[in-house]
Amino acid sequence: EDEIFAEIRGRIKEDDIDAPLRKGQYYYYKRTLTGKEYAQRCRRLVPTDGPVTVHDEMPAGPDAPAEHVILDENLKAEGHDYYSIGAFKVSPSGKLVAYAEDTKGDEIYTVFVIDAESGQYVGQPLKAITSDIEWAGDDNLVYITMDNILRPDKVWLHKLGSDQSDDTCMYHEKDDTFSLGLHASESKQYLFVGSGSKNTSFIFYLDIPNQSKELAVLTPRVDGIDTTASHRGNHFYITRRSEEFYNSELVACPLNNVAETTVLLPHRESVKIQDVQLFENHIAVYERENGLPKATVYRLPGTGEAVGQLQGGRAIDFIDPAYAVEPEPSQFHSNVVRFYYSSMRTPPSIFDYDMDTGVSVLKKIDTVLGGFDVSNYVTERKWAAASDGTQIPMSILYRKDMVKLDGSDPMLLYGYGSYEICIDPTFRGSRFSLVDRGFIYVIAHIRGGGEMGRNWYEDGKLLKKKNTFTDFIACAEHLIENKYCTKEKLCVNGRSAGGLLMGDVLNMRPDLFKAAVAGVPFVDVLTTMLDPTIPLTTAEWEEWGDPRKEEYYYYMKSYSPVDNVKARDYPHILVTAGLNDPRVMYSEPAKFVAKLRELKTDDNLLLFKCELGAGHFSKSGRFEKLREDAFTYAFILKALGMMTPTTASSL
């Protein structure tokens, strides 16, 4: 473990800054320091008042405006085993900062407001809230609190300087299958409060310039209709999904008549609208087609003009066969959209793109040390046929001078497949401790995720959940049949709902794998979903089913990993947990391991590792987090008999 950890850490440029973002009078950025676990939140004055362009560079050197450290997370983390900043929000004037911190890993936050220059606290902290906070002008904060099962259920208005007990509750969501969320429009003119379940959502808005203290309805609650909102000029822009328009459509409505909608992008069967980003004169639309993300920018009519169907979009080109693209915070009053790009072999990159000219400028690419050379690696995209004939995409990474592709290469196959989450093939430096040892690394984009559109998700949930597991097995069998590996060299990994996947495929096909890693796995499905007093249970019934209904009870029982462990041989297994995990309580993986120890008939490794000072997302420090990868990879190497003496002694 120590040897692998040293390798992983050795690839990181420890003293670094991210791509500065110009907002108002300042450039804002994070800085990391050699040997330090956490970042500093910094800013530097913008020396000129010119417009934002793709060629903007933050000045540096002795003549540049001085760097100012707003918040040093390393100082705040002292005395805590866990420390995480969930939100960092600068006030409209730039004079104040509100930040949310979690010191246990239980995702219950405390919010502090500080003077951005002096660092002095302003007012009293706001306690026991979510990480959703937004400014409503310079004097007010809007935030969300949770009920006793950690469901975000109330949105509050707080006036700086007043006591939290005097805050105004703006809305209380009493339906325990719905949870609240909060975000600000890119224009900063409106706050949007969304209440949503897995299938339905509706939106309120708060008018900031008019100093409104009450929420107004933007989209009403209609079962099966899901909406998200943003704002520009005289219109709200709404992404709307329904049973008929399952991949979503984009519409606009006037501020003074929200019932009057105009379709900007119609629903398409093969293209899913993932996200939109609005600007003063443009809109950037992020979509998915054939399992891959895409981004297109459009110029919008003047703010006083009528809106209509978007025409003449400019598509942004990407080079890898499989990759990830995500929107980044950008300047609303500019023609520059910023986005994140990476692939399994391309380090995380930040680009600024001129939406008028199509010029793209690389602003930052993460430096990877340790002799990393992108030309040594190959990424591929392959498809496996599921048991019902559905084609399942896979993203593949390997080092071209170290693999034979004759079945003799070791492999780590990763899967998730739940909540419509897309597991895109992003870069992760720690993987190369396996890939540089000759491993092939594969992501199976199985049903239950969102990679291939909304129906991909619908076909892997509720009474179709087993498609997730059989898809993964089909991918494994395809890789073996096509000589990427053999059963004796195939290791598998999944986390959280992906840990459920691991539990199921181990029960269904224990003969297919040499080793499995189940991270914070959701494995006691039936017991958990029968107990509405457990965090998240009621909100999860639309994902897994309500086992109080007979049909769901027996279906869930047929795949719940704890309920299907049998007296048989299992491969080498590592199971992890977090003591403070509010999403998957540590008792679930512990129960699974106990059941395996009682019944399994082999002498293979079965390890249970519980982090005592962390929650669902492992430890919080940037180096501490890498220990989990190092331990996982050391376990895999041991299972395959590939450990060196130094690696073996540290496991």
What's the full length of the chain, in residues? Answer: 651
Q: How far apart are CA 143 and CA 206, in angstroms?
A: 13
Q: What's the pLDDT at 584?
A: 84
Cβ proximity of 157 and 168 under 8 Å: yes
Q: How far apart are CA 136 and CA 193, in angstroms?
A: 13
Side-chain half-sphere exposure of 555, counting CA atoms within 13 A: 16
Q: Which helix (H) or strand (E) holds 182?
A: strand 179-184
Residue 11: strand, helix, or coil = coil
- pLDDT over 70 at 11, yes or no: yes
Q: How far apart are CA 600 and CA 602, in angstroms?
A: 6
Residue 635 structure tokens: 């376990």
Q: What's the pLDDT at 579?
A: 86
pLDDT digits (tens, 9 = 90+) for 412-424: 999 999 999 999 9
- pLDDT over 90 at 534, yes or no: no
Residue 647 pLDDT class (50, 70, 90 cuts): low
Residue 640 structure tokens: 């395959």
Q: Write down the CATH number for the domain with range 512-522+566-651.
A: 3.40.50.1820
Residue 71 structure tokens: 């918040």
Q: Which helix (H) or strand (E) holds 285?
A: strand 282-289
| DSSP state letters, 103-125 | SSSSS-EEEEEEETTT--B-SPP
pLDDT digits (tens, 9 = 90+) for 448-474: 999 999 999 999 999 999 999 999 999
Active-site residue, 616 included = yes
Q: What's the pLDDT at 586?
A: 86
Q: What's the pLDDT at 611?
A: 86
Residue 111 pLDDT class (50, 70, 90 cuts): very high
Q: How far apart are CA 451 and CA 424, in angstroms?
A: 8
Average of per-residue pLDDT across 242-266: 96
pLDDT digits (tens, 9 = 90+) for 501-515: 999 999 999 999 999
- How high is the mean pLDDT of the chain? 95
Average of per-residue pLDDT across 99-106: 94
Residue 651 pLDDT class (50, 70, 90 cuts): low
| DSSP state letters, 432-455 | HHHHTTT-EEEEE--BTBSTT-HH
Residue 645 pLDDT class (50, 70, 90 cuts): low
Residue 520 pLDDT class (50, 70, 90 cuts): very high
Backbone phi and psi for residue 75, each to the nearest 5 degrees, phi listed first: -70, -40
Residue 423 structure tokens: 């597991």
Among 274-288, 306-320, 457-471, the range scoring the smallest mean pLDDT is: 306-320
Q: How far apart are CA 291 and CA 245, in angstroms?
A: 18
CA distances from 54 to 48, 351, 361 (A): 15, 9, 6
Q: Token pair 């019934």 is at which residue?
A: 541
Give which of 337, 322, 336, 335 is closest to 288, Cα–Cα: 322
> Between 2-10 and 622-639, two packed helices, what is the crossing angle to 10 degrees?
130
CA distances from 203 to 196, 240, 540, 650 (A): 9, 11, 21, 52
Q: What's the pLDDT at 230?
A: 97
Residue 86: strand, helix, or coil = strand
Query: Quick one: how far is CA 520 from the chain centroid?
Result: 16
Q: How far apart are CA 574 and CA 411, in angstroms?
A: 16
pLDDT digits (tens, 9 = 90+) for 568-598: 999 999 999 988 777 788 899 999 999 999 9
- Would you kindly state where each structural domain of the chain is located, as residue ranges? 225-370, 377-485, 512-522+566-651, 525-559
Cβ partners under 8 Å of residue 33, min gap 6? 14, 15, 40, 74
Residue 617 pLDDT class (50, 70, 90 cuts): low
Catalytic option among 201, 430, 496, 560: 496
Catalytic option among 102, 167, 581, 629: 581
Q: How far apart are CA 493 and CA 401, in angstroms?
A: 25
Residue 475 pLDDT class (50, 70, 90 cuts): very high
Q: How far apart are CA 185 and CA 179, in angstroms?
A: 20
Residue 126 pLDDT class (50, 70, 90 cuts): very high
- pLDDT over 80 at 649, yes or no: no
Going by their DSSP bridges, the two strands 515-519 and 490-495 should be labelled as: parallel
Q: How far apart are CA 267 and CA 307, in angstroms?
A: 17
Give which of 480, 324, 473 is closest to 388, Cα–Cα: 473
Q: How far apart are CA 463 and CA 406, in angstroms?
A: 38
Q: What's the pLDDT at 646?
A: 54
Domains 225-370 and 377-485 agree in fold: no
Active-site residue, 231 included = no
Q: What's the pLDDT at 573?
A: 98
- pLDDT over 80 at 321, yes or no: yes
Q: What is 377-485's CATH number, 3.40.50.1820, 2.40.110.10, 3.40.50.300, 3.30.365.10? A: 3.40.50.1820
Cβ proximity of 513 and 505 under 8 Å: yes
- The CATH architecture of the domain made up of 225-370 is 7 Propeller (2.130)
Q: What percent of the chain has pLDDT over 70?
A: 98
Catalytic option among 616, 618, 620, 629: 616
Active-site residue, 18 included = no
Q: How far apart are CA 294 and CA 302, in angstroms?
A: 26
Residue 58 structure tokens: 């933050």
Q: Token pair 């093969």 is at which residue?
A: 270
| DSSP state letters, 312-360 | S-EEPP--SSS-EEEE----SSSSEEEEEEE-SSS--EEEEEETTT--E
Residue 259 pLDDT class (50, 70, 90 cuts): very high
Q: How far apart are CA 615 and CA 580, in angstroms?
A: 4
For the chain, helix (H) and strand (E) counts, in that order, are 12, 36
Cβ proximity of 186 and 168 under 8 Å: no
CA distances from 501 to 304, 415, 565 (A): 51, 7, 14
pLDDT digits (tens, 9 = 90+) for 368-405: 999 999 999 999 999 999 999 999 999 999 999 999 99
